[in-house]
Amino acid sequence: MPNVGILAIQGDVLEHKLALERIRVDVSEVRLPEHLESVDALIIPGGESTTIVQLIDLYGLRNVIQERVEAGLPTWGTCAGMIVLAAHLTDRRPEPLRLMDIEVSRNAFGRQIDSFERELHITGIDGSPFQGVFIRAPAVVGMSDKVQVLARLEDGRPVAVKQELRLATSFHPELTDDSRV
Ligand code: GLN
C-alpha cells in the first residue's frame, strides 16, 4: 500500500485525506522535513499559496521537498498547490518551489464569488466528464515542452498539466466524490 503524504500546514488537508482514504491508500500528514522520509508520493493541497509557501520556509521544508521531488517523488499540486509547484508566477509573490516548468496566474478567473464548476475531459481518464470545481483558481499561462496538458477549459486555457511524475490541477478533485484523478 503506498503511503501518500499531504503537506498539512494550511489548506484543505482534511478533504484530501478523506478522498485518499476512500481509495484505501495509507495517508500521512507532512509538517516537518522528517515526515517526508516515509512517503511514496506527495500532495500539496488547495488553500492559500502565500501562506503555504511562508510556512514551507518557516518549517525548513523547501529544500527537502525540492530534493525529493527532483529525485522522482510523485507529486500533485491542487489549486494553491499548482502555484507552489510552478517555475514562474505572474504575481511577484509568493516565491514558488520551481518544480514544474509552468508559468501560473493566480486568481485567473476572478475572486471567490467568481468560483465555478465545469465538466472537463481529462487525458487518461475514461468515462463521463470530470466535474471540475474551481475556487479562486489559478490558470497555466505558459509552459515548456516538458509539460503535457491533460485538460483545458473551453477557451483553451490549460487546467491540468503533467511533467514526468508531477501533476498540477487548477481545480479541486478532492471536493467531489469522483476518485478518478
Ligand atoms: N487563490 C489561491 C491562491 O492564490 C488558491 C485558491 C485555492 O487553492 N482554491 O493561493
Ramachandran angles phi, psi of 30, nearest 5°: -105, 115
Whether residue 115 has its Cβ less than 6 Å from ligand 1: no
Give me the pLDDT at residue 22, please.
95
pLDDT in tens, 5-51: 999 999 999 999 999 999 999 999 999 999 999 999 999 999 999 99
Residue 83's pLDDT band, with cuts at 50, 70 and 90, is very high
| d(CA 48, ligand 1 centre) in Å | 5
Whether residue 89 has its Cβ less than 6 Å from ligand 1: no
pLDDT in tens, 123-181: 999 999 999 999 999 999 999 999 999 999 999 999 999 999 999 999 999 999 999 99
**Look-up: residue for cell 475514461?**
126
34 is catalytic: no
Amino acid at 152: R
Strand order in the sheet with 75-78: 26-30, 3-7, 41-44, 75-78, 166-169, 158-163, 148-152
